[in-house]
């Protein structure tokens, strides 16, 4: 991968250094050479120069030695002085040759040297040797002669001059050479500086080149990083480096890091986003849906299902709670067990499954346009506390990248907790609701119980009351049994007597009417005869009188007949003979009787008979007719204008009640209706009573005895039927006689039961009894029980005002209460110490020694009498007083000045035995 | 006999499906016969009432009871009476009335007229309590209290304003705890059986028969009191009645429920706020 890397920064720098070092090395070598040659030259110069000098000096010395030795000898003549000369003449040529050799490359100097040689040889030849010879020959004259000329001296001087010139020439040469060396030296110095500059320059160039190449890429990278940092959105930017160096590696690494970061950020943001989506969700289905849709979006899944673990009869099932992109509205199984299928296996092993090779016919992913099988399936168990609590299955048309898998894995890690908490929350909500429902249910039950207990209480009380009464009665019965027996005997006697009396009365009445009728008959007959006035012996007025007598007599007769009938009924002496009645004859008969009356009063009179009415009907004809006659005459009597109608109908089967059917299958209903004055509703019951009419005024206006209807009622009863009434005041009345056909006579008991029931059901429209009942009974009981509530109750009055005590005492004692008195709190407590049967305390507040509050506190807290009723007597409109007395433990309060009724009410409330 | 009966009873309870059907039939019959609809009532309560009636009248099965209900008018009345639970007391849960006095009355003062509906008032104890409270706050004159119940008998009792004297001690305590400012005895007279509340309290009370299950709203109210009534209803019916109350309440009107009740009905609860914690006094927001 990094094979392209050929010039790394390291190599660049290394190369740079090597170059510089090489340069330095080169320059050092060059310098060294120069310096060495210089040294050599210098050494050579020094050596050569000194050699030349030494040799020159040595030659000169030799010459001088020779001269001095010559002279010495000449002077002395001693041969010993000749020894140095001999040496010198031998040696100087050696030095000379040596010097000559040295001066090989200096021909000028050699020439000078040659000249010197010549001079020396000339001296030796001309002056040395001859003189020595002269001396040796002792030729002093010649010597002196010689020295008079002294050619040697001239040679010596020439030689000296020659040496001086040689030396100076040599010195000049040496100087030239030294100058040359100096020049070389300075050249070398400048060369050294030049080299330094050059090497420095090269070093700088290399350094700058390398550094530029490094910095450039670094800057590029920095710029790229800055750019990336600046672009906050998506870190899509990457670092591009053209060089093939470590920076490139760094850039690559950074890019890699960015990639990783980006992935991680993507993961994090998706996870974070996911987590925010969970918020506020309270139902697992909702959670599952949101989770699926989100995760499907993130993983680019096209299909998904969410299963949550549920317990069902100890079996663990995973039940589908949500599906994503449901193709056919029904993806996946609705539920599965642990281990069932791959998904079940995943739940069992708590591990993620991913399948890549999906058969073609696998479940299809549906879009609007078509369907396709998925390519990859991911099954993820969601684990909480090491238990799989849900399983998610996802399918995609592509494949899941590692990143997506990682995302799923990370999301799942915390998702278990969420699922669990939502399940927990749902459970809590369910339990909360349940507990609320249970609270309400409890309330219901408690109310029901209360109702039942109240009912029970009521029953118990009733029972207790009955029990008490029974006990009392038992006692009474025991003590009174004898009296009762006596009384019973008396009663029996008097009952017999009464019965006898009643019979006597009825018989008497019957006889009496009979006896009355006899004289009345004669009066009637005679008055009628008189009224006819057949002889015309009477004045018109007298005839009218006779008419009046007659009609009055008839009235009287009717009255007597009525009384007779009624008393017969009451005495049970009326004989009822059931027989055949031809119903079809009835209208004719009645018409004969009442048509004249109708005509006279100018009333319409109509008799109708329904078609279904049987011809033969079994009843007592006489009484039947009498009832009809009575009803009709009543109708005519109270009708001034309009009409009177009589209709005969037979009741249909469906109109008959069970009881009626038992008595007879055929029932007639004869209705007499009129358009008369009518009867007010509250009088409906009354008019059937003997001697009763609607009101007194009616009697005065219409006359009559008021017996007619009671006779009708009694007769109807005897015939097994009844009379009912419908009437409205001012609009008329209609009386209906309902009787059965009874071929075999009447069964008394059955009929009387029935009649009662039916009459109640039909005639008693507005039952007035109810209205009357309440108050009368109550007030009756009142006085009885009133005594019970107050009787023998011990009331303690605590008050410092004697007048108050007196007034209260009198009022309460009158009702049977026992009154105890205390003048202040202390006395009250004393009284209570000695008397533990106090039922109630009336407590004044403002008292000396110990006031009401304190007293009550003592009673409640120290004496622990928490249930004893204490009624505080407070001043009116003093709310503070009331609050304080309540705080002190008053059961109730009542304001002064006392209202006796109110006081009695309060006493009742607090003295009555509590039910519960 | 008794034991056999109990065995029967147990059998009945076990045989839940049939029992349910029987109860369905019975309630249907009662509805058709009387117009009183208990079909949506809390089943457990209704069935307890039925079993109670069966026990008292010694009837072995619900079907027998049904037969009697259909054929005996008196018995129908009896069963209807059984179903109507009329547990109530004056100033029941005194803290409720105290809270009402403290937190609701100030709102009501500004209204020119205050209409209050006591739904399911039973024998009227709470209606009188409310009247007393309003009287003491000086608001009775401009208030109209509509007290309704489906049971005409209990309404008749309520009209009389006579409550058993044995209960008056408890009521007195309640009255005082509820923050009463007078002597309770100023409001009633007694005889040995009953305490009769002063008719002046009745002046602005209208008693009328009204069935929460079948009848509609009949006015707009500033306060609706319906305490411990809805607990007898099924959740669905509760929602229905809550809608009725909601529709019948004026803006910022108050709804008072029983202390064990909650406004559970989903759609409605957000439209109220509970103005006194734990006293179940809700104010309609919008």
Touching check for B11 and chain A: CB below 8 Å? Answer: no
CATH code matching the domain that covers B94-284, chosen among 3.40.50.150, 1.10.3720.10, 2.60.40.1250, 3.30.470.20: 3.40.50.150
Instruction: Please give the DSSP secondary-structure letter assigned to residue A364.
Output: P
Cβ distance B62 to B23 under 8 Å? yes
List alpha helices for A77-150, DSSP H.
82-102, 107-123, 129-136, 140-149
> Which residue reads 């622990």 in tokens?
A864
Angle between helix A540-571 and helix A402-532 axes, rounded to 10 deg: 130
Per CB-CB distance under 8 Å, the chain A contacts of B191 are 778, 782, 786, 908
- Helix H, strand E, coil C: the string for A678-711 is CCCHHHCCHHHCCCCCCCHHHHHHHCCCCCHHHH
Residue to test with chain A: of B53, B87, B226, most A Cβ within 10 A = B87
pLDDT band of B222, cuts 50, 70, 90: very high
Touching check for B262 and chain A: CB below 8 Å? Answer: yes
Closest CA to B61 of B10, B109, B95: B10
d(CA A302, CA A396): 5
- Position A747 scores a pLDDT of 62
- Position A223 scores a pLDDT of 82
From the list B85, B190, B231, the residue facing A908 with the nearest CB is B190
Peptide bond into A897 cis (omega under 30): yes
Question: For residue A903, what are its two tokens?
Answer: 């006081």
pLDDT band of B11, cuts 50, 70, 90: low
Touching check for A450 and chain B: CB below 8 Å? Answer: yes
Flag if A441 and B52 touch (Cβ within 8 Å): no
Structure-model confidence comparison of residues B96 and A547, the more confident one:
B96
- Tell me how far CA of residue A469 lies from CA of A73, A856, B51, in angstroms: 207, 39, 33
Touching check for B55 and chain A: CB below 8 Å? Answer: no
- Tell me how far CA of residue A792 lies from CA of A816, A835, A876, in angstroms: 6, 14, 30
Q: Which residue of B has its CA nearest to A880?
A: B181
Q: Which residue of B has its CA nearest to A784?
A: B192
Report the gap between the CA of A819 and the closest CA in chain B (Å): 20
Burial classification of residue A63, based on how many CB atoms lie within 10 Å of its CB (0-12 exposed, 13-18 middle, 19 or more buried)? buried
Cβ distance A165 to A158 under 8 Å? no
Report the gap between the CA of A761 and the closest CA in chain B (Å): 14
d(CA A318, CA A348): 11
Flag if B169 and A909 touch (Cβ within 8 Å): yes
Flag if A443 and B258 touch (Cβ within 8 Å): yes
Touching check for A883 and chain B: CB below 8 Å? Answer: no
CA contacts within 13 A on the Cβ side of A322: 20
pLDDT in tens, B126-146: 999 999 999 999 899 999 999
Flag if A443 and B261 touch (Cβ within 8 Å): yes
Share of chain B above pLDDT 90, in %: 28
Radius of gyration for chain A, computed over Cα atoms and rounded to the nearest angstrom: 82
Average pLDDT, chain B: 86
Per CB-CB distance under 8 Å, the chain B contacts of A778 are 191, 193
Mean pLDDT by 10 residues, chain A (916 residues): 57 83 85 84 80 81 80 79 80 81 80 82 79 78 75 78 82 83 84 83 85 81 79 66 75 81 81 80 81 82 82 79 66 74 78 74 65 79 83 81 81 81 84 83 80 72 72 77 81 80 71 71 76 76 80 78 73 75 82 83 85 83 84 83 86 78 82 84 72 53 65 82 82 86 67 42 34 33 55 87 79 85 88 86 85 88 87 72 82 80 87 63
Q: How far is CA A605 from the centre of its chain?
A: 84
d(CA A328, CA A366): 8
**Sequence spans of domains, chain B:** 2-83, 94-284
CATH number of B2-83: 1.10.155
**pLDDT at position B115 over 90:** yes
- Position A360 scores a pLDDT of 65
- Position A765 scores a pLDDT of 34
Burial classification of residue A327, based on how many CB atoms lie within 10 Å of its CB (0-12 exposed, 13-18 middle, 19 or more buried)? middle
Touching check for B185 and chain A: CB below 8 Å? Answer: yes
Touching check for A686 and chain B: CB below 8 Å? Answer: no
d(CA A687, CA A685): 6
Touching check for A905 and chain B: CB below 8 Å? Answer: yes
Q: Which helix (H) or strand (E) holds A6?
A: none
Report the gap between the CA of A503 and the closest CA in chain B (Å): 42
CA dihedral A468, A473, A474, A479 (to 10 degrees): 140
- Position B116 scores a pLDDT of 94
Question: For residue A271, what are its two tokens?
Answer: 């996870």
Cβ distance A676 to A640 under 8 Å? yes
Other beta carbons within 10 angstroms of residue A548's beta carbon come to 12
Report the gap between the CA of B262 and the closest CA in chain A (Å): 8
Question: For residue A318, what are its two tokens?
Answer: 């995973």
pLDDT band of B175, cuts 50, 70, 90: very high
Burial classification of residue A828, based on how many CB atoms lie within 10 Å of its CB (0-12 exposed, 13-18 middle, 19 or more buried)? buried
> Which residue reads 């009484």 in tokens?
A623
pLDDT in tens, B241-269: 998 999 999 988 999 988 877 776 667 88
List of domains in chain A: 9-204 (1.20.120), 280-400 (3.30.450.40), 577-767 (3.30.565.10), 782-911 (3.40.50.2300)
Question: For residue B87, what are its two tokens?
Answer: 């547990």
- Between positions 752 and 781 of A, the ones with CB within 8 A of B are 778, 781
Closest CA to A38 of A188, A174, A172: A188
């Amino acid at each position: 991968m990094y094979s392209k890397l050929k010039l790394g920064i390291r190599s660049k720098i290394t190369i740079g250094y090597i170059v510089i070092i090489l340069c330095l090395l080169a320059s050092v070598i060059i310098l060294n050479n120069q310096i060495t040659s210089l040294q050599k030259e210098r050494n050579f110069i020094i050596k050569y120069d000194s050699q030349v000098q030494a040799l020159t000096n040595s030659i000169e010395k030799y010459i001088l030695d020779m001269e001095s030795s010559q002279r010495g000898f000449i002077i002395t003549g001693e041969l010993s002085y000749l020894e140095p000369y001999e040496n010198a003449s031998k040696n100087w040529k050696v030095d000379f040759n040596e010097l000559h050799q040295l001066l090989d490359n200096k021909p000028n100097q050699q020439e000078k040297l040659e000249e010197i040689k010549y001079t020396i040889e000339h001296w030796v030849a001309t002056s040395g040797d001859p003189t020595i010879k002269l001396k040796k020959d002792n030729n002093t004259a010649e010597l002196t002669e010689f020295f008079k000329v002294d050619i040697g001296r001239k040679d010596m001087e020439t030689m000296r001059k020659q040496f001086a010139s040689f030396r100076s020439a040599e010195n000049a040469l040496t100087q030239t050479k030294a100058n040359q060396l100096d020049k070389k030296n300075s050249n070398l110095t400048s060369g050294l500086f030049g080299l330094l500059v050059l090497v420095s320059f090269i070093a700088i160039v290399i350094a700058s080149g390398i550094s530029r190449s490094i910095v450039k890429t670094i800057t590029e990278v920095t710029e790229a990083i800055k750019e990336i940092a600046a672009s906050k959105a998506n870190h899509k930017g990457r670092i591009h480096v053209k060089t093939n160096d470590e920076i490139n590696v760094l850039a690559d690494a950074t890019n890699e890091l960015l990639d990783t970061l980006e992935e991680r950020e993507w993961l994090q943001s998706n996870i974070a986003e996911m987590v925010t989506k969970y918020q506020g969700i309270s139902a697992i289905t909702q959670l599952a849906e949101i989770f699926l849709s989100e995760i499907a979006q993130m993983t680019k899944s096209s299909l998904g299902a969410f299963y949550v673990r549920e317990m069902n009869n100890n079996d663990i099932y995973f039940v589908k709670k949500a599906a994503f992109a449901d193709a056919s509205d029904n993806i996946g199984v609705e539920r599965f067990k642990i281990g069932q299928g791959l998904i079940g296996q995943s739940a069992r092993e708590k591990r993620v499954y991913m399948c890549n090779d999906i058969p073609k016919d696998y479940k299809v992913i549906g879009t609007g346009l078509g369907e396709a099988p998925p390519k990859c399936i991911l099954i993820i168990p969601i684990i909480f506390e090491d238990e799989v609590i849900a399983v998610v299955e996802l399918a995609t048309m592509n494949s899941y990248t590692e990143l997506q898998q990682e995302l799923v894995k990370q999301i799942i890690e915390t998702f278990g907790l969420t699922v669990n908490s939502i399940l927990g929350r749902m459970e809590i909500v369910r339990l909360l609701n349940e507990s609320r429902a249970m609270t309400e249910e409890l309330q219901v039950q408690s109310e029901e119980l209360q109702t039942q207990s109240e009912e029970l209480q009521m029953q118990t009380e009733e029972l207790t009351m009955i029990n008490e009464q029974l006990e009392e009665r038992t006692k009474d019965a025991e003590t009174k049994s004898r009296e009762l027996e006596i009384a019973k005997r008396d009663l029996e006697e008097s009952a017999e007597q009464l019965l006898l009396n009643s019979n006597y009365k009825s018989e008497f009445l019957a006889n009496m009417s009979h006896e009355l009728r006899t004289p009345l008959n004669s009066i009637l007959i005679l008055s009628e005869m008189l009224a006819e006035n057949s002889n015309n012996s009477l004045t018109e007025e007298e005839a009218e009188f006779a008419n009046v007598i007659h009609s009055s007599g008839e009235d009287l007769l009717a009255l007597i007949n009525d009384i007779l009938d009624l008393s017969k009924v009451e005495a049970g002496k009326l004989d009822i003979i059931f027989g055949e009645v031809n119903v079809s004859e009835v209208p004719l008969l009645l018409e004969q009787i009442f048509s004249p009356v109708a005509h006279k009063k100018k009333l319409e009179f109509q008799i109708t008979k329904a078609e279904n009415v049987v011809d033969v009907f079994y009843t007592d004809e006489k009484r039947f007719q009498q009832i009809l006659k009575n009803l009709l005459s009543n109708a005519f009597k109270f009708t001034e204008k309009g009409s009177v109608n009589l209709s005969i109908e037979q009741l249909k089967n469906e109109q008959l009640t069970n009881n009626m059917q038992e008595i007879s299958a055929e029932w007639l209903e004869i209705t007499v209706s009129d358009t008369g004055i009518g009867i007010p509703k509250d009088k409906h019951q009354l008019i059937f009573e003997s001697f009763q009419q609607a009101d007194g005024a009616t009697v005065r206006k219409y006359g009559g005895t008021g017996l007619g209807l009671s006779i009708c009622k009694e007769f109807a009863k005897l015939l097994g039927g009844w009379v009912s009434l419908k009437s409205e005041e001012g609009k008329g009345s209609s009386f209906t006689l309902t009787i059965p056909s009874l071929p075999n006579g009447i069964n008394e008991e059955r009929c009387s039961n029935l009649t009662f029931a039916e009459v109640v059901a039909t005639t008693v429209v507005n039952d007035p009894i109810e209205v009357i009942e309440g108050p009368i009974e109550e007030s009756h009981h009142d006085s009885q029980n009133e005594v019970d509530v107050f009787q023998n109750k011990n009331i303690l009055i605590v008050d410092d005002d004697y007048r108050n005590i007196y007034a209260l005492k009198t009022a309460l004692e009158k009702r049977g209460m026992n009154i105890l008195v205390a003048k202040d709190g202390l006395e009250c407590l004393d009284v209570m110490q000695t008397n533990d049967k106090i039922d109630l305390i009336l407590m004044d507040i403002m008292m000396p020694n110990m006031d009401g509050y304190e007293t009550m506190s003592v009673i409640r807290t120290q004496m622990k009498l928490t249930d004893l009723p204490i009624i505080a007597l407070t001043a009116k409109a003093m709310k503070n007083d009331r609050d304080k007395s309540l705080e002190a433990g008053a059961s109730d309060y009542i304001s002064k000045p006392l209202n006796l009724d109110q006081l009695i009410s309060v006493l009742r409330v607090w003295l009555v035995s509590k039910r519960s | 006999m008794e034991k056999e009966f109990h065995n029967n009873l147990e059998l009945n309870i076990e045989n839940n499906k049939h029992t349910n059907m029987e109860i369905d039939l019975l309630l249907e019959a009662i509805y058709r016969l009387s117009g009183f609809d208990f079909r949506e009532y809390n089943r457990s309560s209704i069935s307890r009432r039925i079993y109670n009636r069966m026990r008292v009248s010694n009837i072995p099965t619900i079907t027998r009871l049904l037969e009697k209900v259909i054929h005996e008018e008196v018995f129908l009345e009896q069963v209807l009476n059984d179903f109507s639970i009329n547990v109530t007391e004056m100033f029941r849960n005194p803290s409720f009335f105290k809270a009402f006095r403290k937190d609701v009355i100030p709102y009501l003062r500004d209204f020119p007229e205050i209409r209050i509906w006591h739904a399911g008032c039973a024998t009227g104890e709470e209606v009188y309590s409310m009247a007393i409270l309003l009287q003491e706050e000086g608001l009775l004159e401009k208030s109209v209290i509509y007290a309704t119940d489906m049971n005409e008998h209990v309404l008749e009792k309520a009209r009389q304003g006579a409550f058993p004297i044995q209960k008056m001690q408890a009521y007195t305590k309640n009255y005082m705890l509820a923050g009463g400012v007078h002597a309770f005895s100023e409001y009633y007279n007694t005889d040995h059986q009953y305490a009769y509340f002063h008719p002046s309290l009745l002046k602005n009370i209208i008693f009328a028969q009204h069935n929460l299950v079948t009848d509609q709203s009949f006015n707009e109210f500033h306060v609706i009191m319906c305490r411990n009534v809805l607990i007898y209803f099924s959740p669905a019916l509760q929602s229905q009645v809550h809608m009725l109350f909601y529709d019948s309440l004026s803006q910022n009107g108050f709804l008072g429920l029983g202390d064990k009740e909650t406004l559970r009905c989903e759609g409605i609860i957000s439209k109220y706020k509970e103005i006194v914690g734990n006293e179940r006094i809700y104010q309609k927001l919008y």
